[in-house]
């Protein structure tokens, strides 16, 4: 097959960009990049320089300020003004980017810039704005997986993007027919955060030429940089908005500024509504004619992590208390135009007479309300009060599950009744297609035998009595089914699950059955209790039962919660569920809406759900994580098939449910057998893999084996799965032998990085093979979420992390155990709430690693810089230049030989320990 070459693809794109208004410029190396930047900076700031271009000294001052900074800091510098002192003593503000008039920036394009270091890296297509490289495009020829271009960028980020390249904002990867974009970061970048661009109607644009015509138009690209990128100050990272978020913001801003009408945005759960609504609020707050923008969230939806998410965008903006004084202070502040608060506090502010002097002037002012999760029925009464007070207000809602006539609220109203027009929608089928959320694998488990047609809902409802649904034998059977299958679904505790039941008494029964069974799962439970609740005739009040459950929790985690500290218990459970530290959490309604946790992959359902409640509940499981989480698992112990299909059709605007629901076990089995045949056609036995000498054949094997592994993972999540050779047509031992050959090729490629190889940037997806929960990223996530404002809680969290470290089997993590423990003991007690824990860890690790290098170099009599150079060489190419080291070592030949062995071992262990 004849494919368009990478060179031709690059040439075509370059020509296209020049036609679209970019100036072609030749920048062969980094020195020329600096020279071009100086010229463009002078040109862009011409009106400020008043005929006196920057002198050598002044340009060096600018480079001193902007070079060598993190990507996060560079992004902030890019959007700010630089104050420099001119040689004549005067001060001058220099601009790097025009964030208001996007088209007035200077746009250039170059290809094949070579950055020289120990190794050469040649970048495909670079877009420069005002001389700074802000967009890097990497291409692979048609027929290759464009993820290989993504992996190539990861290598460049690690080894050669330096100096001005820290200003890179957006990366684009393409093979001509598939194209995605993603933001730069100081942290690891997951391929799941690379996005397709689309048009306003969510039709994705994958072709590189069409992507260039839409996304890479000079004015649009500068607009993306200026308006649709977010600098997250809490996590110190850069984020770029997805196309549907951009279109929603633009539609809402137009509606707010050009009309007095209301509107709502329908973006499916998990698609980033909070970010979209926040960005909208920030833009509207700067519009003339709008006095204040209020972002309202329901206090009942807030857990500790959600509060943290809101506070990332607006520091200390929100809490779970009812204290209204802070809101009043913000309203009084004439410089504060964007205020985040709860519906409850706003209601207090307009009703409490003591605030009337402050609130009265706003009755006639134009204010905008942005309401999160606007499908909530409880907002109805509060809306009337707010409506009455703010007589010139506009209301904009965001929801993943609007109210239609089929699921209207208790008072009979729909979302459109409250908010008028849907300004933009992005449906669950769109989000699944784009890879922004996962689909659902739904299993229906029959839990009793009666002689009725389960499809006949009238008869099924007729047996809906405690006698059947809550029979102890049925509940015990469900618990046994969960225990038999959960470890496989959770990938050996890498993931966690929710068990949703129909009432508090049922929850207590389930909890007690789990407690009686022999297993090694950590089971938690939570519900809210009524203080003056009447007894249902049982001896134990629900609050007493919850205290008993919390007491078990305290023993399990070393905490000291009770129903008197319910809020703290709730926050801790929320935190632990986000880190998969609880295996199964039993709930009634809590956590079924608004709760986001990437490691949550399974929902067990023993309650009736429909419409928005069903989709909200299912969507707790569908957050994108990594390849070991292909979809959200839904296990229904009631026949919710009709309700599920009806809900999917309603919220997908389609007659088909196939876009949202995954295939059946038998369909995946058929796919697996086809994949198995494709694998055996390449290598009939594991031994035959050794005979695949051509790299193209090795590549085919890698792809075929990855495919069979992905399908095996899908099969493993079903209750019916057993590794049955008769059914799968391959034995477990044969599969493991193929896996060994796969790793042999991985190891070979690691040692041949310098060689031009088609395997160099292939995605081996090693996470498909490794599902150990306690690994480096898991531990670092726990550390990043340490509680810094409560010493007792922090010490307990550290104790639990150390327990996990002591039980870790992951080889890379074991190398870091003493390093991590040292950080926990020496550094964390002195960190303030404002500090980034991960930044502090990075500094600590750098200090320790530097000391290790100095100490070892001194021990073997080698210069520090020689050792550092060899470490860099090994990290890049897995080569140790023994001849170079021998020349630098003191002593005779035999002494040098002994030292070489020790140095080789040190380099290998050091690289494994400190590589990211």
Do residues 277 and 349 touch, judged by C-beta distance below 8 A?
A: no
Whether 457 shows a pLDDT value over 60: the answer reads no
Mean pLDDT calculated for residue range 704-712: 91
- Per-residue pLDDT at 509: 96
The C-alpha atoms of residue 555 and residue 850 are separated, in whole angstroms, by 41
Mean pLDDT, the chain, as a whole number? 87
Buried b (16+ CB within 10 A) or exposed e, 717-752: bbeebeeeeeebebeeebbeebbebbeebeeebeeb
Tokens of 620: 């707790």
The C-alpha atoms of residue 479 and residue 473 are separated, in whole angstroms, by 10
Mean pLDDT calculated for residue range 16-28: 96
pLDDT tens digits, 722-744 = 899 999 999 999 998 998 888 88
The C-alpha atoms of residue 730 and residue 804 are separated, in whole angstroms, by 36
Strands 120-129 and 107-116: antiparallel
The C-alpha atoms of residue 42 and residue 825 are separated, in whole angstroms, by 51
Whether 192 shows a pLDDT value over 70: the answer reads yes
The C-alpha atoms of residue 583 and residue 577 are separated, in whole angstroms, by 8
Give Cβ neighbours of residue 722 (< 8 Å, ≥ 6 apart).
none
Burial class (CB in 10 A: 0-12, 13-18, 19+), 402: buried
Please state the pTM of the whole predicted model.
0.83
Place 803 in a pLDDT band, splitting at 50, 70 and 90: confident
Give Cβ neighbours of residue 593 (< 8 Å, ≥ 6 apart).
301, 373, 613, 616, 617
DSSP state of 688: G
pLDDT tens digits, 272-301 = 888 898 889 989 998 988 999 998 887 666
Whether 458 shows a pLDDT value over 50: the answer reads no
Do residues 327 and 350 touch, judged by C-beta distance below 8 A?
A: no
Do residues 65 and 77 touch, judged by C-beta distance below 8 A?
A: yes
- Per-residue pLDDT at 530: 72
Whether 763 shows a pLDDT value over 80: the answer reads no
Whether 303 shows a pLDDT value over 60: the answer reads no
Place 615 in a pLDDT band, splitting at 50, 70 and 90: very high
Which residue is associated with the tokens 């750098």? 846
Helix (H) or strand (E) holding 778: helix 776-784
Burial class (CB in 10 A: 0-12, 13-18, 19+), 412: exposed
The CA R_g of the chain, rounded to the nearest whole Å, is 30
- Which among 243, 914, 192 has a CA at the least distance from the CA of 622? 192
Burial class (CB in 10 A: 0-12, 13-18, 19+), 71: buried
Longest CA pairwise span in the chain (Å)? 96
Q: Which range has the worst mean pLDDT, 85-94, 631-640, 829-838?
A: 829-838
User: 116 pairs with which residues across the strands?
Assistant: 120
Measured between alpha carbons, how far is residue 62 from residues 58, 132, 166 in Å? 6, 13, 15
- Which among 270, 225, 266 has a CA at the least distance from the CA of 247? 266
pLDDT tens digits, 353-368 = 999 999 999 999 999 9
Do residues 805 and 819 touch, judged by C-beta distance below 8 A?
A: no
- Per-residue pLDDT at 804: 86
How many of the other CB atoms lie within 10 Å of CB of 209?
15
Do residues 36 and 28 touch, judged by C-beta distance below 8 A?
A: no
- Per-residue pLDDT at 491: 83
pLDDT tens digits, 644-694 = 999 999 999 887 888 889 888 999 999 999 999 999 999 999 999 999 888
pLDDT tens digits, 541-578 = 899 999 999 999 999 999 999 999 998 999 899 999 99
pLDDT tens digits, 197-222 = 999 999 999 999 999 999 999 999 99
- Per-residue pLDDT at 453: 52
Rounded to 5 degrees, what angle do the CA atoms 588, 558, 562 make?
45
Tokens of 248: 């929603």
Give Cβ neighbours of residue 260 (< 8 Å, ≥ 6 apart).
392, 394
Mean pLDDT calculated for residue range 383-394: 88
Residues of the chain with pLDDT > 90, as a percent, come to 51
Whether 1 shows a pLDDT value over 50: the answer reads no
Whether 475 shows a pLDDT value over 80: the answer reads yes
Direct distance between the N- and C-terminal alpha carbons of the chain, in angstroms, rounded to an integer: 39
The C-alpha atoms of residue 161 and residue 565 are separated, in whole angstroms, by 50
The C-alpha atoms of residue 778 and residue 772 are separated, in whole angstroms, by 10
Whether 121 shows a pLDDT value over 50: the answer reads yes
Helix (H) or strand (E) holding 873: helix 864-877
The C-alpha atoms of residue 282 and residue 339 are separated, in whole angstroms, by 9
Do residues 176 and 8 touch, judged by C-beta distance below 8 A?
A: no
Give Cβ neighbours of residue 180 (< 8 Å, ≥ 6 apart).
146, 150, 172, 173, 174, 194, 195, 196
Helix (H, G, I), strand (E, B) or coil at 605: strand
Whether 377 shows a pLDDT value over 60: the answer reads no
Strands 170-174 and 179-183: antiparallel
Q: What DSSP letter does each residue of 407-448 carry, written as one string? A: G--TTS--HHHHH-EEEEEE-HHHHHHHTSB--EEEEE----
Tell me the backbone φ, ψ of residue 427, rounded to 5 degrees: -90, 165
Helix (H, G, I), strand (E, B) or coil at 384: helix
Place 378 in a pLDDT band, splitting at 50, 70 and 90: very low
Do residues 233 and 182 touch, judged by C-beta distance below 8 A?
A: no
- Per-residue pLDDT at 120: 67
Rounded to the nearest 10 degrees, how much is the dihedral formed by the CA atoms of 135, 71, 222, 66?
A: -110
- Which among 108, 103, 128, 109 has a CA at the least distance from the CA of 13? 109
pLDDT tens digits, 511-540 = 999 999 999 999 999 999 875 555 555 568
> Is pLDDT larger for residue 187 or for residue 406?
406
The C-alpha atoms of residue 665 and residue 655 are separated, in whole angstroms, by 23
Q: What DSSP letter does each residue of 144-212 carry, written as one string? A: S-THHHHHHHHHHHHHT--GGGGG--EEEEE-SS-EEEEE--SS---GGG-B-EE-TT--EE-SHHHHH
The C-alpha atoms of residue 804 and residue 333 are separated, in whole angstroms, by 48
Do residues 424 and 266 touch, judged by C-beta distance below 8 A?
A: yes
Buried b (16+ CB within 10 A) or exposed e, 568-585: bbbbbbbbbbbbbbbbbb
For the ranges 42-51, 118-127, 465-474, 487-496, the one whose mean pLDDT is highest: 42-51
Helix (H) or strand (E) holding 525: strand 523-525
CA 29 from centre of chain:
35
Which residue is associated with the tokens 């990437």? 598
Measured between alpha carbons, how far is residue 521 from residues 273, 487, 578, 588, 689 in Å? 34, 9, 16, 20, 40
Tokens of 382: 């509060």
Helix (H) or strand (E) holding 497: strand 496-501
Tell me the backbone φ, ψ of residue 739, rounded to 5 degrees: -60, -40
Rounded to 5 degrees, what angle do the CA atoms 20, 98, 238 make?
90
Instruction: Count how many Cα atoms sit within 13 Å of the Cα of residue 786 in the half-sphere of its side chain.
Output: 33
Q: Which range has the worst mean pLDDT, 231-235, 290-294, 711-715, 864-868?
A: 231-235
- Per-residue pLDDT at 451: 54
């Amino acid at each position: 097959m004849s494919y368009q070459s990478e060179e031709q693809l690059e040439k075509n794109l370059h020509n296209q960009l020049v036609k679209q208004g970019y100036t072609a410029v030749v920048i062969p190396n980094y020195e020329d990049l600096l020279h071009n930047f100086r010229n463009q900076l002078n040109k862009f700031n011409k009106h400020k320089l008043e005929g006196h271009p920057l002198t050598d000294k002044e340009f060096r001052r600018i480079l001193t300020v902007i070079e060598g900074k993190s990507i996060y800091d560079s992004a902030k510098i890019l959007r700010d003004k630089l104050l420099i002192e001119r040689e004549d003593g005067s001060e001058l503000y220099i601009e790097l980017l025009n964030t208001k008039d996007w088209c007035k920036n200077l746009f250039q394009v170059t290809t094949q810039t070579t950055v020289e270091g120990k190794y050469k890296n040649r970048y495909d297509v670079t877009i420069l704005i005002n001389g700074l490289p802000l967009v890097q495009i990497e291409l692979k020829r048609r027929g290759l997986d464009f993820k290989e271009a993504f992996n190539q960028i990861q290598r460049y980020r690690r080894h050669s993007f330096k100096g001005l390249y820290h200003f890179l904002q957006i990366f684009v990867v393409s093979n001509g027919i598939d194209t995605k974009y993603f933001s730069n970061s100081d942290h690891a970048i997951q391929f799941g955060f690379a996005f397709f661009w689309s048009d306003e109607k969510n039709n994705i644009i994958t072709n590189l030429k069409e992507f260039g015509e839409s996304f890479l138009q000079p004015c649009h690209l500068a607009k993306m940089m200026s308006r649709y990128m977010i600098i997250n100050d809490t996590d110190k990272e850069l984020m770029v908005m997805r196309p549907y978020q951009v279109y929603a913001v633009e539609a809402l801003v137009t509606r707010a500024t050009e009309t007095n009408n209301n509107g709502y945005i329908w973006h499916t759960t998990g698609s980033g509504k909070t970010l979209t609504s926040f960005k909208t609020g920030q833009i509207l707050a700067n519009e003339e004619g709008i006095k204040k923008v209020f972002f309202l969230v329901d206090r009942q939806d807030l857990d500790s992590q959600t509060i943290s998410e809101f506070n990332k965008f607006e520091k200390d903006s929100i809490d779970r208390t009812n204290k209204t004084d802070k809101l009043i202070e913000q309203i009084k502040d004439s410089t504060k135009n964007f205020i985040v608060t709860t519906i409850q506090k706003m209601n207090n502010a307009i009703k409490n007479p003591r605030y009337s002097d402050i609130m009265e002037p706003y009755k006639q002012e134009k204010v905008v309300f942005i309401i999160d999760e606007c499908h909530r029925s409880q907002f109805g009464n509060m809306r009337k009060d707010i409506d009455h007070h703010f007589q010139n207000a506009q209301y904009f809602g965001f929801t993943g599950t609007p109210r239609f006539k089929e699921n209207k609220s208790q008072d009979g109203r729909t979302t459109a009744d409250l908010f008028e027009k849907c300004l933009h929608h992005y449906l669950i089928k769109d989000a699944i297609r784009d890879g922004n959320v996962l689909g659902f694998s739904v299993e229906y488990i029959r839990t009793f035998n009666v002689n009725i047609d389960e499809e006949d809902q009238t008869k099924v409802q007729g047996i809906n009595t405690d006698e059947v649904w809550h029979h102890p034998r049925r509940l015990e059977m469900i618990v046994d089914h969960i225990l038999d299958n959960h470890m496989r679904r959770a990938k050996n505790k890498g993931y966690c699950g929710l068990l949703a039941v129909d009432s508090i008494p049922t929850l207590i029964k389930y909890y007690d059955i789990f407690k009686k069974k022999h297993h090694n799962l950590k089971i938690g439970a939570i519900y809210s209790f009524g203080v003056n609740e009447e007894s249902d005739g049982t001896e134990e009040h629900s609050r007493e039962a919850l205290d008993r459950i919390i007491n078990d929790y305290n023993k399990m985690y070393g905490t000291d919660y009770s129903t008197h500290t319910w809020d703290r218990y709730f926050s801790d459970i929320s935190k632990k569920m986000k880190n998969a530290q609880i295996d199964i959490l039993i709930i009634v309604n809590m956590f079924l809406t608004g709760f986001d946790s990437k490691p949550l992959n399974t929902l067990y359902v023993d309650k009736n759900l429909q419409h928005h409640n069903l989709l909200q509940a299912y969507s707790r499981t569908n957050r994108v994580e990594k390849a070991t989480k292909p979809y959200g698992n839904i296990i229904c112990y009631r026949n919710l098939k009709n309700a599920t299909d009806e809900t999917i059709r309603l919220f997908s605007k389609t007659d088909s449910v196939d876009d949202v629901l995954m295939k059946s076990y038998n369909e995946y089995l058929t796919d697996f057998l086809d994949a198995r045949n494709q694998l055996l056609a390449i290598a009939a036995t594991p031994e035959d893999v050794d005979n695949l000498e051509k790299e193209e054949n090795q590549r085919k094997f890698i792809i075929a084996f990855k495919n069979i592994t992905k399908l095996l993972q899908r099969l493993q999540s079903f209750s019916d799965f057993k590794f049955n050779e008769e059914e799968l047509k391959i034995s477990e031992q044969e599969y493991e032998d193929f896996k060994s050959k796969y790793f042999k090729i991985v190891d070979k490629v690691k040692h041949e990085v310098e060689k031009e190889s088609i395997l160099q940037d292939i995605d081996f997806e090693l996470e498909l093979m490794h599902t150990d929960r306690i690994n480096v990223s898991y531990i670092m996530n726990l550390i990043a979420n340490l509680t810094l404002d409560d010493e007792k809680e922090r010490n307990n969290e550290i104790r639990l992390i150390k327990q996990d470290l002591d039980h870790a089997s992951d080889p890379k993590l074991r190398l870091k155990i003493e390093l991590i423990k040292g950080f926990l003991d020496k550094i964390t007690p002195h960190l303030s709430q404002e500090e980034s824990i991960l930044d502090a860890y990075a500094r600590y690790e750098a200090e320790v690693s530097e000391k290790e290098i100095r100490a070892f170099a001194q021990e073997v009599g080698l210069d520090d810089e020689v050792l550092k150079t060899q470490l860099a060489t090994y990290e890049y190419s897995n080569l140790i230049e023994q001849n170079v080291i021998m020349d630098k070592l003191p002593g005779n030949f035999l002494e040098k030989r002994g030292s070489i062995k020790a140095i080789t071992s040190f380099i290998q262990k050091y690289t494994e320990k400190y590589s990211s």
